[in-house]
Amino acid sequence: MDQTQVAGDLELDKTLYTEEQIQGRLKEMAAEIEADYEGKDILLVGVLKGAVMVMADLARTLNRHVEMDWMAVSSYGSGTTSSGVVRILKDLDTDLTDRHVLIVEDIIDTGLTLSWLVTNLKSRKPASVEIATLLRKPDALQMDVDVKYIGFDIPNAFVVGYGLDYNEKYRNLRCIGTLAPHVYS
């Protein structure tokens, strides 16, 4: 069964980005990252669970050594909105002192979680902290954190697939799409 059919069966309203489009954009982002970090070590920091797919594909697209580490955080909020109040469920195993940290994100919506994360990681005395995200929503433009690498700017809709979930489902889709409205109700 191909992924389009899977997506259809799982009630995707519309495919926003196909597997090919996602992989193509990740290649371009990886080329930029390789150029910017020439001669420097990189520690990729992924935020569980949404960033798993982006991290796996971006890391493998980078034609150089990288280290990877993970954090799990929980953002207190209701349903599909986040409040910016964050609790660490799993911290990094790596000491960030003098490290070049590149946070790898699946999506930035309000940016509240990310803004908190950047402040938290910067307090650990790294050499640098930058952000790479596959998707960015319009509200994120108001946040006061610079995002250096952006895959796609998307409209303000709830999207799933490629790591992104609705009630823990759809993460395993290879494409990214919007959910049919009736799935919410």
- Interface contacts to ligand IMP, rule CB under 6 A: 50, 75, 82, 106-114, 158-160, 164
Which pair of structure tokens corresponds to residue 62?
Answer: 């980078």
Catalytic residues: 109
Nearer to ligand IMP, 65 or 87 (CB): 87
Q: Among candidates 145, 98, 92, 91, which has minimal Cα distance to 125?
A: 98
Nearest distance in Å: CB 27, ligand IMP:
23
Nearer to ligand IMP, 38 or 144 (CB): 144
Nearest distance in Å: CB 25, ligand IMP:
17
Query: What's the CA gap between 175 and 61, in Å, rounded?
Result: 18
Nearer to ligand IMP, 36 or 171 (CB): 171
With contact defined as beta carbons under 8 Å apart, do 136 and 149 qualify? no
Residue 80 backbone dihedrals phi, psi, to 5 degrees: -100, 10
Nearest distance in Å: CB 181, ligand IMP:
14
Nearer to ligand IMP, 127 or 157 (CB): 157
DSSP summary character for residue 166: B
Nearest distance in Å: CB 175, ligand IMP:
14
Query: What's the CA gap between 77 and 55, in Å, rounded?
Result: 25
Residue 133 identity (one-letter amino acid): T
